[in-house]
Chain A
């Protein structure tokens, strides 16, 4: 079964507003979490990560929040820009280095 889930396949947000992308996981052994951004016909590009010893990591407009007790990860983009329109994948890894990806959320930022 999927160990990392993104339950919203799509999201639309007005330019300038906040985009919140969510991700849930089931394996408590995951210790590293990543967000990727993917444009059509390209590979996923690494965006931001967080280790399990933290609950927040910020990089410019992108902030990732980790709630270990809820096994929940979220990516906040603020302010959202049209260029942020893409598919966003969350991923988790454990000590073995294997990656477990979610199925992606397609974000559309409306000008």
Chain B
């Protein structure tokens, strides 16, 4: 079955540094990947939709200069949290659509837990 991986699974960094999170589709091609952030009560907020070879589409209220998304290939999207601050500490999850399946099925990654000190 399709698998989506994220790296790293945990990251602790100092305030002001940048952190890059990778999302990979392991056995399928994903023209579209989604980035989510988990909020209290465990709901996931859609941050942006990442399309291979084009600019990401950000949801309202998400700073595109702070959360840089790059989808350079059909199997990899990256989210870079620039100049991270403690309030950016959260759980970030990506998901990917299987281009070849013709369906709307989304495969989620296991998430990346970010702690900014």
Contacts and interface: CB of A to CB of B under 8 A. Distances in A.
A1 B41 CA distance: 28
B2 A42 contact: no
Interface string A92-111: 00001111110110100000
A interface, how many residues as a size bin? 20 to 34
Contacts of B111: 97-99
Interface string A58-98: 00000000000000000000000000000101010000111
Which has the most chain B C-beta neighbours within 10 Å: A1, A96, A99? A99
A97 B11 CA distance: 13
A101 B1 contact: no
B9 interface: yes
Interface residues of B, number: 24
B23 interface: no
Contacts of B105: 9, 103-104
A99 B3 contact: no
A36 B113 contact: no
A96 B91 CA distance: 12
A103 B106 contact: yes
Which has the most chain B C-beta neighbours within 10 Å: A5, A34, A103, A104? A103
A53 interface: no
B42 A9 contact: no
A49 interface: yes
Given A98-B9, A99-B93, A2 B46 contact: no
B103 A46 contact: no
A44 interface: yes
A99 B46 contact: no
15 contacts: A2-B1, A2-B107, A5-B1, A9-B105, A34-B42, A41-B46, A44-B44, A45-B43, A46-B43, A96-B9, A96-B10, A97-B113, A99-B108, A103-B107, A106-B104
Interface of A: 1-2, 5, 9, 34, 36, 41-46, 49, 87, 89, 91, 96-101, 103-104, 106
Interface of B: 1-3, 9-10, 36, 41-46, 91, 93, 95, 103-108, 110-111, 113
